[in-house]
Amino acid sequence: MTTQTAIAVRPLAIDRSHSEVAFQVRHLLSRVRGRFTEFNGTIQFDESNPQNSNVDVTIDAASIDTSEQDRDNHLRGADFFDVEKYPTLRFVSTSVTPRKDNTYDVSGHLTIHGVTREVVLPASFLGTAQDPWGNTKYVFEAELTLNRKDYGLTWNAALETGGFLVGDEVKVSLSIQAK
User: Could you tell me the residue ranges of all domains in the chain?
Assistant: 2-178
Is residue 112's pLDDT more than 70? yes
On whether the pTM is more than 0.85, the answer is: yes
10 Å CB burial of residue 53 (0-12, 13-18, 19+) is: buried
pLDDT digits (tens, 9 = 90+) for 129-172: 999 999 999 999 999 999 999 999 887 777 677 666 778 889 99
CATH of the structural domain 2-178, one choice from 2.40.110.20, 3.10.20.30, 2.60.40.10, 2.40.128.110: 2.40.128.110
What pLDDT was estimated at residue 164? Answer: 66
Its sign, for the CA torsion 148, 151, 155, 159, is positive
Contacts of 138 (CB under 8 A, 6+ apart): 10, 12, 43, 45, 125, 127, 128, 177, 178, 179
